[in-house]
Chains A and B, each alone.
Chain A
Amino acid sequence: MNQSNETGDGRLDFTEERRLIKAAQGGCAVSAHRLISAHQDRLHAFVWRMLRNEHDTDEVCQEAFLRAFGALAGFDFNYRFSTWLFTIGYRLCLNQMRRRSDHGGSIDFAAISATRRETDAPTDASEAVANSDQARQLKDAIWGAVDDLAPPQRATVLLFYREQMSCQEIGEVLKMPAATVKSHLHRARAKLRENLSGSVAEQWADVRFNTEAG
């Protein structure tokens, strides 16, 4: 009956989030646990898309939460917890990428394709259309194109579509003006279109991925 404190996709509503942050500020571990649970998969997905490495992702996510809680006393209630968390997470991702390139490391493509096959298992029965082989190829092509985007563009696209953040909010996360975010989004879309031209995506442009589409 009292399910109104979470929205349909398990996200906390603003009031509940405020209450949990205040309780966590007072040392309430139960509230801290709920804050973590409500955000862990979202942050994990974002960081994994940025880094494409499971081990680094886990480390960065843990560090992001520890930093967020370490500074929770000064939390500004004008922001969402997620905005703050993703800001920290994004900065840690950039540091991690820098460290990786300093060490001459590169993305393990074999590991990526293995992970992708393994994790591409259908998660939702309502995506019947998207479970066909062609749809899987389409998804692979699209995620491949997303992987090819420069980090700020990739982050913009992920935060815009997955997190449904406004350009203003994305600007807060990426530490850039909303106008710059807009141009990142524009260039990202152009690049996606360009990279997907001639691929399977062209024949499957009308695939619908959810029941509410159309």
Chain B
Amino acid sequence: MALTCRNVQHLHDAYLDSDLSASMIAEVDAHLLQCPECQRQIDMVRVCGNVISRDQSEPRAADDFAARVLSALPRQRAAAPAPVVLLTRRQSRRVVLERVAAGFIPAMAAMIGLSLLVFPAATDHSTSPDRQVGRVLGESATRTAVSPTLALGVQDIVSPTLSSIDNASRAVGDLQDFAGLTLRDAREQLAASANPPAAPAEDAFSGAFLMQMLHPLLGVVSPVPTEPAPAQTDDVVRF
């Protein structure tokens, strides 16, 4: 039995969306062939669909849109945890080392920095500090014509303090050596991790990131010049 116009109207959507069986589509087609009114209605909706899907005459997003969105996102700060990426077992060990270094080395560096400030003359810990201080005191005593006894008296007073300072400065020295070693290791690992052979550039920033954080530190503790931290760290966003 042939479809009526009313039947076809009910089937409009299903016909347009190809939700009909092949035999039903044939039935509707047969009606449309001999009914210009139903055909016109179907065509009109079809043209609407074509225009809506393909006439892209809307204004486009501004050229700087993506940049504006990115700059409105909070930036990742130096203290933020390194991003999680899928790693091999060996890489994970390296990352653990990096993270330990990231937390431990700055703390140690702060201590060293502080000691260097407090004991600027104590960096050469092979020489006894009270001898050095005594020499300084002696020189100043000569220059200012203060009696040697007074200088000796001062030395007696400061001597016990100086020997404890001596111990402390030895400790600092050891710490410094240790820090130097650790930092050298860390730097080597970082140098490796900053340029992983085939990893995509965007995954490399955790090394670069740590590198930048350590940068001032490396300058203080060891005289080895370090390459400037990549500007890529600027591109890190935190969500």
Given known contacts A193-B45, A207-B47, A27 and B69 CB-to-CB distance under 8 angstroms: no
CB-contact partner of A62 in B59, B69, B84, under 8 A: B69
Chain A proximity mask over B46-64: 1 for CB below 8 Å, otherwise 0: 1111111111111111100
Residue in chain B with minimal CB distance to A54: B59
Chain B proximity mask over A20-53: 1 for CB below 8 Å, otherwise 0: 0001111111111100110011011100110000
B235 interface residue per 8 A CB criterion:
yes
A130–B55 Cα distance when bound, in Å, is 9
Is the beta-carbon distance between A205 and B51 smaller than 8 angstroms? no
Chain A proximity mask over B181-197: 1 for CB below 8 Å, otherwise 0: 00000000000000000
Residues in A with CB closer than 8 Å to B237 are 27-29, 32, 69
B33 interface residue per 8 A CB criterion:
no
CB-contact partner of A205 in B44, B85, B203, under 8 A: B44
Q: Find residues 121-161 in chain A having any chain B CB closer than 8 Å to their own CB.
A: 121, 123, 127, 130, 138-139, 142-143, 145-146, 157-158, 161
A104 interface residue per 8 A CB criterion:
no
Given known contacts A138-B47, A145-B48, A123 and B57 CB-to-CB distance under 8 angstroms: yes
Residues in A with CB closer than 8 Å to B80 are 27
B227 interface residue per 8 A CB criterion:
no
Question: When A and B form their complex, what is the total count of cross-chain residue pairs whose Cβ atoms lie within 8 Å?
Answer: 157
Is the beta-carbon distance between A146 and B52 smaller than 8 angstroms? yes
Is the beta-carbon distance between A143 and B51 smaller than 8 angstroms? yes
Is the beta-carbon distance between A25 and B239 smaller than 8 angstroms? yes
Residues in A with CB closer than 8 Å to B58 are 44-45, 48-49, 119
Is the beta-carbon distance between A209 and B59 smaller than 8 angstroms? no
Residues in A with CB closer than 8 Å to B47 are 138, 142, 201, 204-207, 209
A94 interface residue per 8 A CB criterion:
no
CB-contact partner of B44 in A73, A161, A193, under 8 A: A193
Number of A residues contacting the other chain (C-beta, 8 Å)?
68
B40 interface residue per 8 A CB criterion:
yes
A139–B47 Cα distance when bound, in Å, is 9
Residues in A with CB closer than 8 Å to B49 are 161
A95 interface residue per 8 A CB criterion:
no
Is the beta-carbon distance between A23 and B54 smaller than 8 angstroms? no
Interface centre among B50, B53, B60, B69 (most CB of A within 10 A): B69
CB-contact partner of B236 in A27, A127, A193, under 8 A: A27
Residue in chain B with minimal CB distance to A206: B43
A185–B43 Cα distance when bound, in Å, is 16
Is the beta-carbon distance between B239 and A27 smaller than 8 angstroms? yes
Q: Find residues 61-80 in chain A having any chain B CB closer than 8 Å to their own CB.
A: 61-62, 65-66, 69-70, 72-73
Residues in B with CB closer than 8 Å to A130 are 55
Given known contacts A145-B48, A193-B44, A26 and B59 CB-to-CB distance under 8 angstroms: no
